[in-house]
Structure 1
């Protein structure tokens, strides 16, 4: 009986020192924004501002900004298939598409990136 007590005491001390006890804190989840939320501004491939907005579902604005920066960088490098005609490009697990100039002028919406039921759109103007 005394052996069990002697073994469990050092084990309890080890767990407390390594943070494996009940005092360990859970990692914070990435905040998400619901449809209609503005996610800020990034520079589009040509340097013009693109204003990001969650248009469907919910998404992390931090992730959306990262995806759009990478997406526009790939467009600038000529990697977007069917650019201007709705060709899709996979970026960081998102499916992104840029619209033709006439469609952008009609509704101001230049691109959409979607993932898991969420869509974040890039617009020419804020709002």
Structure 2
């Protein structure tokens, strides 16, 4: 039985570690440059990840597994790491396991993140 009574405050020691990713989910990191994501993006933001047309010369506009421009996945932002010297921001996304595998194969620079309303579609 829990020694804390009803109405007791929980301390950080009383909580277990977060189970990320949950069963059937994956966390995938994507690198995005300014203009490919809203600067207001924070952990917990619901997003749609969209494959865009290739912008680099000589790069095919069709990605691995046939995920071409317009392909999209629903995800939740887990974390945002600020841009480094190459101006790439790394965004960690919680997606379904299949989507995580597909996203990991999309070439850098071919994704855009679109913020969605919380709880909305």
Whichever of the two has the greater Rg, that structure is: 1
Considering fraction of residues, name the structure with more helix: 1
Q: Shared fold (TM-score greater than 0.5)?
A: no
TM-score for both structures, normalised by structure 2: 0.26
Select the structure with the greater relative contact order (CA < 8 A; seq sep ≥ 6).
2
